[in-house]
Every structure is written in C-alpha cells, then in structure tokens.
Amino acid sequence: MRRKASLVLLACAVFCAALSPLLRWYAFPRLARIPAGQYQAMVLEAKDATLLDYGTMRARRVSKVTIVQTLKGDVEAAREIGQATGRGVVVWDGLSYVQGPDGKMVSEIPERYIFDAHSQAPVHATGEMVDGDPVKRTGIEFKWPFLTQKRDYEYFDAQTRTTNPIHYGGTRTFRGLKVYYFEQTIPWTRVGMPKTMPVKGITPETVARTGTTRWYTTVRRFWVEPVTGAPVYGEETHREELRGGTLLGGRPRVTAFAGDVKMREDYIEHTVALVKHNRTLVLLLTSYLPWGFLVLGVLLLSLSLWLEARGRRPEDPAPVETAEPEPVSA
C-alpha cells in the first residue's frame, strides 16, 4: 500500500515541477495580453496656463486647460491584422482633445496605434497614423511592457512623429505602489499645425502661406508600475510657440500654449486601483503560481521518498515459541 501511495505522490510531484516553468514561460506570454476591445479615458489639466487667443493672435493667462485622452480598441481591425501577421494584435484609436476654460475646443489630434498585445512592440500595418499622417512607429507609446526593467526605453512622440529615449530615473513609491520613474525631454522642434483648428477659415495650409511656423518642446514624466507596465501617474511641462511670418504682425514669436499638465485626482485614484488589481493577476502567472507549484512539487517528492523508505524497511522478526519439555517418568 505504501508503495502505491509513493508512486502516486511521485507522479504528482513531477506534474507540479513541470507545471511551474510552463506557467511562467508558456502560459504567461499567451494569457497576459491587453484586451483588444479595451476602452479607457484619461483627463489631464494644466492650471494657470498660457493659451493663444486665435481671434487676436495674442497669448493670455487662463485658469485651466483640460486635455481629454481616449483610447478605444478596434476589435475587428485587430482580428484582421492579427490574422495577416500571425500575432496577437491590439488596435487603439486614440484622441487627444484640448479645450479651454470656456469648454471650447482648442485642438484635437486623432491617432491609430497598432501594437503587440503582450510585448507592446509596434506592429506596422495600413492605417497607422497621427492626425491623418501615416507614421511608422518605433519604440513604445502609452504603456510599458509587462515586467518593465530598470533601463531606458525608446518612446514615440506624437507631436514630432519621432522616437527618442525615455530615461529610467530610479525606483520610487507612489500611493503605496513601487514604481519606476521615467523622464523624456523633447527639445524645441518644428512641428506641423493640427489639422483641426479652433477658428473657422484657419487651416494648416493658410498658416503655411503666411510663413508662420509652430514649435514645440516638452518634458514628460511617468511613474510606471513595473509588473503590469502601466503608468499610474504622468505629467508634462509643455510649451508651444508660433514663430515668424505675417500672421504674428511682425512679432518674432508668440506662445500658443504653456503649462504644467497633470492627471486629475479622480483619474489617479481609478488608475491606481485598476493597476493594483491587474498586478495581482500578472503576479499569479509570473511568481505566485510557478513558485507555489515548485515548492509543492518538492514537498510531494520528499513525502514520496519518505514513504518509499518506510516501505523498504525490514520488518521485525516474529518471536519464536519454545515448547515446555514433557515430564519424564522413571
């Protein structure tokens, strides 16, 4: 009986030991993926900012500028591109909508971002664009890979349509989470005018004919939870200028926008709660379950060997009965 129990425990130990690396190296890349139909919104604010009044073409101080960023997954497009490329793909249709303190639109820039559902590496396909212009991204955007490392990454900047390093700046604590801090500086760069302008009759073409150009610089900062690769907080020191041309009435430059853009508090709380939940799910596949099955396999193996040793131990010999001598008569 002990021999059979030992064999059963040995089989269970082998199963657990084999399941441990399978969960980490086989199941994790296939199960830890961004959902193709995910929808998310983020609201950022720049308080006490500078904004261009396109009616007078002069900069003015305003109480607040609001930026609403939305990302909506296109499930059908992801399925088609995934079949063509043989990869798990996510297609995000993004929109960055900027409005002034009066609620009126300042600018809106749409994007289509196509990337690998697990690694977040860009996947190049028809439709990849920023503000209607075709682009071919390199580097990440919006999200870091699962199990983010302590190193610099390449990060895509939608304004300049270029990829630049975003530098790792150390480990910090944010709202009870261990996070990695990243920072990227985009120097003053000439960029195109948004195709959707706040004043009717003003288009990128009409501005170009005046000789006026648009310039942009920013310092962006992210606090990234490393297990999920999700930023739990972000902010930018953002500046835009119009330079030269007849549109400015002889002035060399005018500020189009300047402000410190930060996530709104309610969206910080929602993001932190969501990341904490997803972090537990990722750790189940990368740490808790693999190590748990490995430890369980070692315990079962030890118990199996112990039972096998008990089964092979020689039993104590049975006592020998000695018969009393029969009495002998004379």
239-254 as b/e, with b when 16 or more CB fall inside 10 Å?
A: bbbbbebebbeeeeeb
Cα gap 255→58, rounded to integer Å: 8
- Give the residue ranges of DSSP H helices in the chain: 2-22, 28-31, 75-85, 204-210, 265-283, 289-312
Percent of the chain with pLDDT strictly greater than 70: 93
Cα dihedral: 16, 17, 22, 28 (round 10)? 70
Helix (H, G, I), strand (E, B) or coil at 74: coil
Helix (H, G, I), strand (E, B) or coil at 295: helix
Give per-residue pLDDT as tens, 163-176.
999 999 999 999 99
Helix (H, G, I), strand (E, B) or coil at 203: coil
Q: Is the dihedral of CA 194, 89, 122, 37 positive or negative?
A: positive
Is the Cβ–Cβ distance between 166 and 75 less than 8 Å?
Answer: no
Say whether pLDDT at 133 is over 60. yes
Please report, for the chain, the start and end positions of each structural domain, with discontinuous segments joined by +.
2-21+285-312, 32-263
Give per-residue pLDDT as tens, 72-101.
999 999 999 999 999 999 999 999 999 999
- Average of per-residue pLDDT across 23-47: 92
Beta bridge partners of 216: 189, 240
Is the Cβ–Cβ distance between 48 and 83 less than 8 Å?
Answer: no
Is the Cβ–Cβ distance between 117 and 90 less than 8 Å?
Answer: yes
Band the pLDDT of 326: cuts 50, 70, 90. Answer: low
Say whether pLDDT at 67 is over 50. yes
Is the Cβ–Cβ distance between 242 and 273 less than 8 Å?
Answer: no
| Sheet strands (E) in the chain | 39-53, 58-73, 89-99, 105-116, 129-130, 133-134, 153-157, 162-174, 177-191, 213-225, 230-243, 253-263
Band the pLDDT of 330: cuts 50, 70, 90. Answer: very low
Nearest to 69 by CA among 91, 94, 49: 94
Q: Is the dihedral of CA 148, 69, 80, 125 positive or negative?
A: negative
Is the Cβ–Cβ distance between 51 and 240 less than 8 Å?
Answer: no
Say whether pLDDT at 323 is over 60. no
Provide CB contacts within 8 A for 304, sequence distance 6+.
6, 7, 9, 10, 13
Question: For the whole model, what pTM was predicted?
Answer: 0.88
Give per-residue pLDDT as tens, 178-210.
999 999 999 999 999 999 888 887 888 888 899
The most distant pair of C-alpha atoms in the chain lies apart, rounded to whole Å, by 153
Number of neighbours of residue 129 by Cβ within 10 angstroms: 15
Say whether pLDDT at 318 is over 60. no
Nearest to 77 by CA among 137, 29, 37, 42: 37
Say whether pLDDT at 3 is over 70. no
Cα gap 99→249, rounded to integer Å: 26
Cα gap 294→317, rounded to integer Å: 41
Cα dihedral: 122, 127, 132, 135 (round 10)? 40
Band the pLDDT of 314: cuts 50, 70, 90. Answer: low
Picking from 8-22, 71-85, 215-229, which range would have the lowest pLDDT averaged per residue?
8-22
The pLDDT mean for the chain works out to: 90
**How far is Cα of residue 135 from the mean position of the Cα atoms in its chain?**
21
